[in-house]
Structures are given as structure tokens and as C-alpha cells.
Structure 1
């Protein structure tokens, strides 16, 4: 049974499905279909319409649709079976709870130090760029409400072979970004370009007095897009790791969130320390 059989002609259309004459791109098709799966519009076990029908629906070519489905198959979202069609083999995005831990104190090597050690001599971070913006729907998974004015800090990490391997984007609410530690002169640290280095034994959040009591991480796969795709020299829509870390206050409000985009050929690790929360 196809999605159209079960839900009618417009079953694959989601709120952001392009309604225009300009030819839809591979990345846009991947995004629309993935969001339809995440929202339950397309369910596990459904068979998608044919490439011809999808091409007509999205006003694009069958070749573009086929390429998008091939990428989605590589992401483990669909199974393309010759002569049978395309079957959805993933359900909605779900949470996997690995446990709760106390955060590492800055008396141990920082994440950047450990990262450089594991990625070869000459590994480095690109310069940090700082700007102000307003959050959009694209930032919804950061937990910062849409329409919030934030300070955006972005940088790219390169391994020892000079290959870009991580794009990091930190959004800090203006209330948190304008905090100044005692004795500091000049622009608030989070609004200044370059590295922000707190005193030994302190996290940046604690040094600035953000009121962060815990940090949570969410890891998923998502198509690389925009500045992250460009920084990593990946084609738009390439499946990538998306790691969102959020600094939460006692009232569960997000003070800052960092979105890390990395190629799927990456590993994620933590070193858990039973020390005072930083």
C-alpha cells in the first residue's frame, strides 16, 4: 500500500514542501521526505510513490528523485528494491537515553585539548566568527525559542591532514552572551572574536555566571546544509552527524547551545569525571 493509497494525493506534501515552478533540488527532496517521516506523515513500512509520481509532485526530474532516494537509502531511511519500489525502513526520530552524568571539571584536559591529541599533529581550529541573529525553525532542536535574539559563534576544525572535520556553531542568548566576569575589561568574552579561555578549573558557563546546572547532548543524522556543508566541503544534503549540546539552567531554560556538524565517518566519545559540576 502506498502513502498515496492510504492518505490521498497530498500525503507527501509537508508544510515546507516546495510549491513553485523552480526545479526542486535533491537536498530539498531529502529534507521534505525526512521531515515527513519524523512527523509521522510517512510511517515505517510504507511504500513511497514511484520516482515518476514523486518527480511530478515535487516538480523535478526522475533522476533528481532517484539520487535523493539513493542518499536516503545510505542513511538507513528507505530501502530501494528494483522492480518493487521504495520502502520506508525507519520510524520517527526517537530519543536514546544513555544515562546521566556529572560534567567534567576543567582541572582535566579540555575537550579541545583531547580532540587535538586524537586528530594528529597540526590539527587546528579555524578563526571564530561572531555575529548577532534571530533564531529560526532551523534552530528548533537547540531548545532556544524561535525568534530569540542570540549571539552566533562559528568555527571549523581541521585534522592533521588539513581536512575539515567539524563545523561548530554556538548560539548564546543575548542575556548570557553579555555577561562579564569580575575584573574583565572590554567587550563581553562571548561577543569577542577568538578563543574564550576561562581560568583553570572553571567552565566558560561557570566563569561567566550563566547559571548552567547541566549540559545535555543529542546526536542524530541530518543532511548537511548551508555554512556547515560549505565549511566541510560536502555537497548539500550529504548525510552527516549532528550533535547538539545544550547548557540548561535550573528552570530548564537554554543559556547556550552548540551544534556540531561532522561527516558520518566520525566517532563520538565522552570522558566522564565524577567531579564538581562546572
Structure 2
């Protein structure tokens, strides 16, 4: 196993409850035998996990788990604070300084995999994948955005539209002012759920952010959910841990709902 795979395997052991808070890990040599790798690779993986605050390593007595299973902290449920601007625009607003920019959107058709489990789109589902990279004012890549749209939702077109459906075209998709893309296309989305956590950057996000694969990153997953509970689309935004996330709630008189 490579370093990212060892981190993933140990993280899964924690999330499944097989390794609990306070448990000691097996010695490095035993872990190397278990995962079919070298002690040096295991040590490097444990160092990354220690940096993530998942384990504590002390010379002489090994490593122990100092975290619990992955938890969800629900901040609350709010209506969009600004109905004059499409929700998708406010949710990923530029905040990387004057001169920040986005690369072109690349579009392809693919199939969701087990690695996409947190998007809520079942593995094997045919999807349209839309990817984009954001750069800060200094030209450094600071966000990797990947959207998966179920094919039945991606092929929708607004009334009077001609040509290739908007979600299957490369480049920006701009709905009318004050309307989300999902509503404009009639996806039947009734709510958007956000989950924010830290996880290893996958190969595509790591390459886009010029980071080693497996580097811990901020991972923001938003899912457009329909009344029947199915997911019409999901967007995964990966960003370095130095990123920050902001939330603004306005009083009803100011155009939003507190």
C-alpha cells in the first residue's frame, strides 16, 4: 500500500469503530506487514495523521487514537440570504483577493464510483461531470470544484431552449437573475444540503491544487435533493486547510430569513 491508502485504511477503522478513542495502534513493523509496505511508509502515513489531529505519536510507546468517528455538526437550516442572486453564485463567491479568477469548466460524461459515496449519487449512476479550478489573486490554485449531475437532470433544458442542454455545454451556465440553475432547469430540487469536513485530496484535486496526493484538504459537499430523496446533482469543492468558510444570515427585512 501507498501512504494515502494506509491513511484511508486506518481512517476507515476509526470511522467503523474498530479503532476507538484511546486505542493504541499496532507497532509500525506489524502495520507494515499488514499493509504490505515498508516501515518508513507507515511512519510517514502516521505523521500525516498526527498532523491531522487523528493520532498522537510519541517515541518509545508508539501511537494512539485521539479522535472519534467522523461526526456531523449541524449549523442549522436557513433560506438563501439573498434571493436577488442565484444561490450557486453566493455559495462559491470570490474571496481570494482582487484579480482572482476561475479556469474554464471542463465537461465529460462518466459513471459515479464508490469514491463518490458522500455525494449521495449511487455508484454506477451515469453522470455528467463538470470541473473547474479557482486561482487566487497571485495565481495560486486555491479551489478545485467538481460537480456530478445525474444524466436525467443534466439533459434538461429550460422552456424555449435550443441546442445542447446547458449542463452538458462547457463553460459557464448562467440562469436568469434570482433563479438557481436547478430551478431554471426544472430539476425538482427542494433542498440543498451542505457537509463540510477534512479529508485526503483525491488525485484530481491534488493535481489541480499542486499538492501531493493524500494531503489533507477542506472538503465541502453540496447536494441538490429532490422530494423523493434522490440527488439530482452534487458539488465537491476541495481547498487547502488554510481556507476558511463563511456564512451570512440576514434579517427578513434585509432580504433574507434569520
- Do residues 66 (structure 1) and 62 (structure 2) align? no
Secondary structure, aligned partner of 2:137: coil
The separation in 1 between residues aligned to 2:244 and 2:200, in whole angstroms, is: 17
Q: Per the alignment, do residues 197 and 109 of structure 1 end up closer, same or farther by CA in structure 2, a change over 3 Å counting?
A: closer
Aligned length: 254
Cα gap change, 1:116 to 1:93, in 2 (>3 Å): closer
Equivalent position of 1:55 in the other structure: 32
> What is the distance in 2 between the residues matched to 1:26 and 1:168?
24
- 1:161 paired with 2:138, answer yes
Correspondence 1:25-104 to 2 at 5 A: 25-104=2-81
Out of 214, 217, 222, the residue aligned to residue 194 of structure 2 is 217
SS at match of 1:68: helix
Instruction: Tell me the distance in 2 between the aligned counterparts of 1:100 and 1:116.
Output: 20
Residues 98-131 of structure 1 deviation map (CA, whole Å, 9 limit, x = unaligned): 1111124441486657866521122111111111
In structure 1, what is the equivalent of residue 118 of structure 2? Answer: 141
Distance 1:105 1:127 in 2: 26
For 1:204 and 1:61, locate their aligned partners in 2 and report how far apart those are by CA, in whole Å: 49
Partners of 2:196 and 2:95 in 1: CA distance: 20
Aligned to 1:170: 147
- 1:205 is aligned to 182
User: 1:236 maps to what in 2?
Assistant: 213
The 1:109–1:185 alpha-carbon spacing in structure 2 relative to 1, beyond 3 Å, is closer
Match of 1:179 among 141, 156, 172: 156
SS in 2 for 1:118: coil
Runs of 4+ deviating beyond 6 Å: none
Displacement after TM superposition at 1:272 (Å): 3.5
RMSD: 1.9
Kept in 2: contact 1:51–1:62 (CA 8 A)? yes
Contact 2:16 2:69 in 1 (8 A): yes
Match of 1:196 among 158, 161, 173: 173
Structure 1 residue 62: Cα displacement: 1.1
Q: What's the CA shift for 1:145?
A: 1.2
User: How far does residue 271 in structure 1 lie from its aligned partner after superposition?
Assistant: 2.7
TM-score, length basis structure 2: 0.93
1-structure distance, mates of 2:152, 2:81: 25
